[in-house]
Structure 1
Amino acid sequence: MSSPDQHVSSLAKQARELFVVHVGRALPELVKACDTRLTAVLDQAGPAREMQIRRDAWTGFQKNQTTWLNQTRKSLQRTLLPRFSNSGNPTSVSGQLELVAEGAIDDQILASRLAMQVLDKSSTELNELRLRIQHLEGRQELPRGDVLLPDVTSRILVDQWLDAHMTREAWALVQDALSPILANRLHEAYKAANEFLVASGVMKEIDLQALVKRMPGSRTDGPVIRRDASATSNARPAPGGQPRSPASGAASMPASMPGGVSARSGP
């Protein structure tokens, strides 16, 4: 018989696994959207350099799209492996923080732009899932490399695109086609993970007042505000993916920022 702690850990693990399954199912749709966009712009008139970039992008995608899909799926699966210290800090295999490689800032900016589209669609579901996972794991915030954070999932897509020998210029051509699809599919993934946890008895009601009390400098007076799992929240994450409690108005948890630890998985 498993201990209560093992059961709690298992629920958080299963929620992440369910999230990754949903994201994985969306990958073929993302590939199709890229192919459709690159084909549509292939013969558009324009300066010779832009036309060459579009031709190169289309050719590169036809050659490498399967690699991108497969490696992205594998990278998502690798995020489920234990990679965090007891303090919740992301670590590499050697236990050292990953160094910021040349070009990593630019790649993070690309991923952040994509992640913001996800936040616009999924702020409520993400905020509530974050609180439930933090409750289960006894954390004040999710680790910066957690796959549940939209900038991490977006960074995986960007990293694997570049690792498949496709260019940043090609990514710029397809990002607008990817954004609405990824936003919708991650919203569904967050919702499915929340529904699983609620069905498992995890924070059917979310006590926002208790959350505010845990934040430094926050007010502790006033009535207790409870969020039912079926209610609609006005909480919006701050830039970087971290939630802002509507009860506190300004208090927010630390976010992963561009230039931080890369979401790129190890070999």
Structure 2
Amino acid sequence: MPAPLPSVPQRRLARQARQKFVEGICAGLPDLDKTVLDFLSQLVSQTGTQRDMQARRDAWLQFQQHHTDWVANMGRGLREALAPHISTTRGTPMPAGASQFELLSDDVVENKIAASRMALTVNEQVSHQLDTVRQRTQSLEGQDLDSNDILRPEAVCLIVVEQWVEAGMQRTDLLTVVDPLQRDLANLLQKQYQAVNVFYVEQGVTPQNDLRSRVRRTEGGTVGAGDTAPGGLASQALAQTRE
């Protein structure tokens, strides 16, 4: 039997959380842009073989020409990802003519590979906060996040990579700047996951495993009044964001 659909207020809360997450990332895009520009500027000033120095200069010039489009495209892509989507986990029929397996172009495959590698590094830093966001969102929607959900680092990283190429820059140049880029992207996502977790707690959204844990402790008579009060929940969330 299919799982019951979440109520309208629950869906609204989950959507508000995603909007908060995306807007926070968009606000941090100029800093990502500056990180990449500063890194490329430092590379240009370094000595090396004639070939390496020319490649660095070309990458620096390309970025100066196209970085504004990259930032704008990322912002647009992130906001477009907020559009309501039908989850594939509920057995919804696929559109007519659609195939479960589609041939992907080399560019699409390369973008996905680059994004997946970036997401692995980002996940190492944000996994704790992400897991709490995922659990709280699941408690609202009754299912886990889709693979392309914008709350997943993989989805954000794919937009970063796709829009880099779409803006007219070389994927090889992206690999040149990937270390500082993914480091600052991880820091940015970490802050946004923390903000979403605080928002959820303020709205009284609790992961199912936390709820079951409190029920067990209540049955054992070990829970104090402060554990169930709103202030207690908020304190727990703030403590989680500092871990």
TM-score by length of 1: 0.72
Residues 185, 35 of structure 1: alpha-carbon distance in 2 compared, 3 angstrom cutoff: same
Residues 201, 232 of structure 1: alpha-carbon distance in 2 compared, 3 angstrom cutoff: closer
Equivalent residue runs for 1:176-195 within 5 Å: 176-195=179-198
Aligned partners of 1:89 and 1:144 also within 8 Å: no
Distance 2:155 2:112 in 1: 9
Q: In the alignment, which of 23, 37, 40 is matched to residue 39 of structure 2?
A: 37
Distance 2:112 2:179 in 1: 17
Residues 85, 120 of structure 1: alpha-carbon distance in 2 compared, 3 angstrom cutoff: closer
Equivalent residue, structure 2, for 1:137 = 141
What percentage of aligned pairs have identical amino acids? Answer: 35
Higher-strand-fraction structure: 1
Aligned partners of 1:90 and 1:144 also within 8 Å: no
Unpaired runs of 5+ residues, structure 2, are 1-5, 214-232
Equivalent residue runs for 1:27-176 within 5 Å: 27-85=29-87, 87=89, 96=98, 99-139=103-143, 141-176=144-179
Distance 1:95 1:191 in 2: 41
Distance 2:162 2:103 in 1: 15
1:103 is paired with a residue whose SS is helix
Distance 1:68 1:90 in 2: 34
Paired residue type of 2:40: L
Residues 180, 134 of structure 1: alpha-carbon distance in 2 compared, 3 angstrom cutoff: same
TM-score by length of 2: 0.78
Q: Deviations over 1:75-94 (max 9, x none)?
A: 00000002324635899998
Q: Deviations over 1:148-184 (max 9, x none)?
A: 1001101100000001110112101211111221111
Distance 2:109 2:92 in 1: 18
Q: Deviations over 1:38-62 (max 9, x none)?
A: 1111132223332222121111111
Equivalent residue runs for 1:205-224 within 5 Å: 206-207=208-209
Distance 1:182 1:173 in 2: 15
Distance 2:43 2:30 in 1: 20
Q: What displacement does 1:209 show?
A: 9.6
Residues 174, 91 of structure 1: alpha-carbon distance in 2 compared, 3 angstrom cutoff: farther
Aligned partners of 2:139 and 2:208 also within 8 Å: no
Distance 1:90 1:37 in 2: 46
Distance 1:63 1:134 in 2: 42
Residues 89, 181 of structure 1: alpha-carbon distance in 2 compared, 3 angstrom cutoff: farther
Distance 1:232 1:6 in 2: 28
Q: In the alignment, which of 18, 21, 27 is matched to residue 19 of structure 1?
A: 21
Q: What displacement does 1:232 show?
A: 5.0
Residues 95, 117 of structure 1: alpha-carbon distance in 2 compared, 3 angstrom cutoff: farther
Q: What displacement does 1:230 show?
A: 5.1
Q: In the alignment, which of 186, 198, 203 is matched to residue 200 of structure 1?
A: 203
Distance 2:198 2:131 in 1: 14
- Give the structure with higher Rg (CA): 2
Higher-helix-fraction structure: 2
